[in-house]
Structure 1
Amino acid sequence: MNKLKIFLVGLGLFIYSGGLMLLLYLVFIKTGEATRPAIQDFLIALFMGGIGSLIYINASFSYHVSKKTFDITWGWWYLFGPINGMFFAVIMLFLLKAVMLAVFPSASEATDMNNFAVGAYAGFIGLFAKQGTDKLREIFEELFITKEEKTKTKPAAK
């Protein structure tokens, strides 16, 4: 694939990511469905997830530059890392709130989270987004294995 095509694909993904953020805003926040604390939690998770990812990416960048192993072809990974961390943090915050709603009888108990707690949670989710998505992939591949895949992995009977 030539450099122009790679650039156009990357640019398209970047624009698509921005469009998804705008869509989240229009559907979730602008419609008035969300309360003010929910909007704050959403924005805090978005930004702290990005900051957490930036910590990981900055450490990776400085490591590879100092070892003289930096490869410019990873540029898109460095660009999309914070965006992935932002989205992953929001998804995990929604998951946490859903679990809290299931556990606590009162909706207000489940949704009342300190802004600092939301920020810390989202920051760590962003920081470990790569490991988190890798682990989730392992779990879902094991849970949703197809019959064909089961027969491939079974040892032959003796």
Structure 2
Amino acid sequence: MTESFSNAARETQYEDAEDAQASIRALSPWATAVIGLLLGGQVSLFSLALLSIWSVMDKIIGPAAVEKQTETWSPFGLGHWHITPDVGLLIIVMICSGLGSFVHAATSFASYVGNRRMYASWIWWYLLRTGIGMALALLVYLLLRGGLFAGEMDGRAANPYGFAGIAGLCGLFSKQATDKLREVFDTILSTRGDGDSKRFDKLGETSGHDRFQSSNPGESP
């Protein structure tokens, strides 16, 4: 009986310590509001930019387009860009990947804020998520255009809807895509030795102090 009471007391103390640590690491309300506003501004910016560039692309690669035609694009009045079909596709890919990254980041943000588990240590994850998705989508696009479709089509013959959809999925599932690519290249480019064993302070190494603070660390957003 005494042992059960002592175990219950230790569990209560451990839960209180975890709650105290969580309150310290929790993101402040104003910082949470700033991230939410940034996400809202991001989707508005990308949506308007997509509508703007798509109307230009219709003139370049549409049914009435003239070969080697270029159009002038003025995004939000910030200068005048001369857009070719290839450049327009690159812009569409980057914008759509940004929209996909927004869906991922906004869904995670809403879930963690709703569960009161939004911690300050994840701020950079949300700030860099869009850039990671855009970079990954751009690399996939270059791989498809330079590898699978090399010599078969130019910018005017490419289907912007297909590449826009692929870019959006790259942004939405950038984490899964990078994990899978890592598995593939670890298999293809396997080495005899383990170079990581000679590198110290890796992310997977957890000190005893960190293990005491949290025996069940939070998952990635």
User: Same fold by TM (over 0.5)?
Assistant: yes
Alignment of 1:91-106 (within 5 A): 91-102=139-150, 106=151
- Within 5 A, what are the aligned runs for 1:88-127? 88-102=136-150, 106-108=151-153, 112-127=157-172
Structure ranking higher in helix proportion = 1
TM-score (norm 1): 0.65
Larger RCO, structure (CA 8 Å, separation 6 or more): 1
- After TM superposition, give the deviation of residue 56 of structure 1 in Å: 0.3
Q: Secondary structure at the match of 1:148?
A: coil
Asked if 1:137 is matched to 2:185, the reply is no
Question: Which of the pair has more CA radius of gyration?
Answer: 2
CA contact (8 A) 1:100 1:111 kept: no
Separation of aligned partners in 1, 2:137 and 2:108: 20
> In structure 2, what is the equivalent of residue 49 of structure 1?
97
Following the alignment from structure 2 to structure 1, what is the Cα–Cα distance between the partners of residues 161 and 167?
10
State the Cα deviation string for residues 102-137 of structure 1 (Å, max 9, x = none).
4xxx53378722222221111111111110001001
- Structure 1 residues 111 and 94, CA gap change in structure 2 (3 angstroms): farther
Which residue does 1:146 correspond to in 2?
A: 191
Q: 1:147 to 1:111 in 2, by over 3 A?
A: farther
TM (norm. structure 2) is: 0.47
Distance 1:43 1:136 in 2: 24
Identity of aligned residues (%): 31
Q: Which runs of 5+ in 2 are unaligned?
A: 1-82, 198-221
Structure 1, unaligned runs of 5 or more: 1-34, 153-158
- Report runs of 4+ in structure 1 exceeding 4 Å deviation: none
Matched length: 113
